[in-house]
Amino acid sequence: MAELVAVVASTHHPFYYRASTSTGADRPPFADEWVAKIERFRETLTAARPDVLVMVGSDHFHQLWLDNMPQFLVGKAPFFDANWHNEEREFGLPRMTLRGEEELAAHLLRDGLDRDFDLAFSNELRIDHSITCPIITLRPEADLPIVPVYTNIFAPPMPRPQRFVALGQALREMVESWDSDKRVAVIGTGHLSLELGGPRQFGEHGPDPEFDRKAVGWIANGDIEGCLAEVTLDSLHHPGNATHGFMDFMLMMGVAGAGQKADHVDTLDLFHTMEAYFTWYPQGDPR
Amino acid sequence: MSRYLLDKFLFTVDRDPELTERYREDPAGTVTWWEAEMANTLLNSTAAERTTWLAFDDDERRALAEHDHVALFTMGAHPFLTLTLFIAMFERDHGPMEYQRAYARAMDHLSMPYPDIST
């Protein structure tokens, strides 16, 4: 059976690519510290020597739209083109093409449906920065095949936080039941407190540093119970109007497992939002 | 009131560079044209399969025609769509992050709970 060699959860910050590649007067003052943290984070994935990446993210109204909106979707295709016009325009993100791992995608779809997750699928999916940001930060060679898993954290009505955790728990079992000798890493990105298009956006810190502090604690300690006791679809409005992206972190806590402390934890307090990086090694720390 | 149609306007204008420029330069004319020609286009189908019932109300038409991002927010247009399109149109006229911060300041008087954005 396939081996789950790393579980990685991260914020996805579309400004990282430009900040890390800019020079001279264009380079922001926080870029060097940010790059150093990302390089340490990247080493945690490299050390696990994955063959395949399951990439959990959320389409930002690029291909998935309100006339036909899935809650959870698996991309099954030999290739995935990436990044969209408005991401090039606003963030300077490059166009990319990633290989797909169709056998694992087919397995996740079959097994997921049989576990009562009515997963939608796409055979022609152009992925966006929720998946390419972690490729850029964690595997900039972009050389490994992927299986994208999209969640709806964007367009109400959304599944409840419990459902994200349950899908994460199931995703782990599904990966570990894949009849393959491949080494699989599951990487998922979301947000801590975040405001987009509202009065609290682009402040000196994220909109709710207290929520961020608690959230980092829940994730780092695998405290699913504590997290679910406080986080609901309604409560997530308060830390910032885009904070439902935190549910992708909850999904990743499900993949990592209840009570599992992360082997790597790091944060970076930036303007507008706090960055947070976590890695678990289900088979033991290979470093 | 149709939050969905507001979102559809923002979505379709944002993803088309020519339309983004047209909306920046001629907001009222673009809204009139869009409502007549685009509002009832079924996006993943052919031109013949038109929807028959989508239309803006007067407040929605006015908010779009006046580039009034605060009104769009209070109507429950999806804040991500509005922000992304308005950054595309107006960030170029300002220094780094100036526009994003001014955009937020214009909404300082708004408090929780924010308007419902469900469609």
- Over residues A248-272, the pLDDT tens digits come to 999 999 999 999 999 999 999 999 9
Residue of A268, A276, A208 lying closest to A248 (CA atoms): A276
pLDDT in tens, A38-76: 999 999 999 999 999 999 999 999 999 999 999 999 999
Query: Across the interface, do A200 and B113 touch by the CB < 8 Å criterion?
Result: no
Q: What is the dihedral of CA A52, A58, A63, A64, to 10 degrees?
A: 120
Under 8 Å between Cβ of A50 and A5: yes
pLDDT for B35 = 98
Q: Is A25 on the interface with B (CB under 8 A)?
A: no
pLDDT for A277 = 98
CA dist A47 → A42, A159, A185, A197, B29 (Å)? 9, 34, 11, 39, 57
- Chain B hits for A85, CB-CB cut-off 8 Å, are 15, 17
In a domain, B68, yes or no: yes
* Overall size of chain B counted in residues: 119
pLDDT for A105 = 99
Tell me chain A's radius of gyration from C-alpha atoms.
17
Q: In percent, how much of chain B has pLDDT > 70?
A: 99
- Report the C-alpha gap between A122 and A195 in whole angstroms: 29
pLDDT for A84 = 98
Buried b (16+ CB within 10 A) or exposed e, A52-66: bbbbbbbbbbbbbbb
- Chain A hits for B113, CB-CB cut-off 8 Å, are 237
In the block, residue with structure tokens 């504590």? A226
Mean of pLDDT over chain A: 97
Question: Residue B10 pLDDT > 90, yes or no?
Answer: yes
Domain count, chain B: 1
Question: Residue B1 pLDDT > 80, yes or no?
Answer: no
Segment B22-50 mean pLDDT: 97
3-state secondary structure of B11: helix
CA dist A130 → A14, A190, A240, B16 (Å)? 8, 8, 18, 21
pLDDT for B37 = 97
Q: What is the DSSP string of A198-248?
A: STTTT-SS-S-HHHHHHHHHHHHTT-HHHHHHH--TTGGGTT-TTGGGHHH
* CATH 3.40.830.10 correct for A3-280: yes
pLDDT for A45 = 98
Q: How far is B56 from chain A (nearest CA, A)?
A: 17
pLDDT in tens, A10-27: 999 999 999 999 999 999
pLDDT for A272 = 92
Tell me, what DSSP letter sits at residue A96?
A: E
Q: How far is A258 from chain B (nearest CA, A)?
A: 32
Q: Is B8 on the interface with A (CB under 8 A)?
A: yes
Domain assignment of residue B101, given as a range = 3-105
Question: Residue A89 pLDDT > 70, yes or no?
Answer: yes
Question: Residue A121 pLDDT > 90, yes or no?
Answer: yes
pLDDT for A49 = 98
Q: How far apart are the first and last CA of chain A?
A: 23
- Chain A hits for B83, CB-CB cut-off 8 Å, are 196-197, 201
Tokens (6 digits) for A80: 């995935």
In a domain, B111, yes or no: no
3-state secondary structure of A173: helix
Segment B29-56 mean pLDDT: 97
In a domain, B112, yes or no: no
Q: In percent, how much of chain B has pLDDT > 90?
A: 97
- Report the C-alpha gap between A100 and A4 in whole angstroms: 18
Phi/psi region, residue A43 (left: phi>0; alpha: psi -120 to 50; beta: rest), is alpha
Query: Across the interface, do B78 and A237 touch by the CB < 8 Å criterion?
Result: no
> Does this complex have an ipTM over 0.85?
yes
- The neighbouring-strand residues paired with A54 are A147, A186
Segment B96-118 mean pLDDT: 96
Q: What is the dihedral of CA A249, A200, A87, B72, to 10 degrees?
A: 120
In a domain, B96, yes or no: yes
Do strands A3-11 and A183-190 pair parallel, antiparallel, or not at all (unpaired)? parallel
- The neighbouring-strand residues paired with A275 are A268
- Count of beta carbons in the 10 Å neighbourhood of residue A143: 9
- The neighbouring-strand residues paired with A98 are A80
In a domain, B46, yes or no: yes
Give the start-to-end residue ranges of the domains of chain A. 3-280
In a domain, B25, yes or no: yes
Question: Residue A155 pLDDT > 80, yes or no?
Answer: yes
Smallest CA–CA distance from A239 into chain B, residue: B112
Quick one: pLDDT band at residue B73, thresholds 50, 70, 90?
A: very high
3-state secondary structure of B59: helix
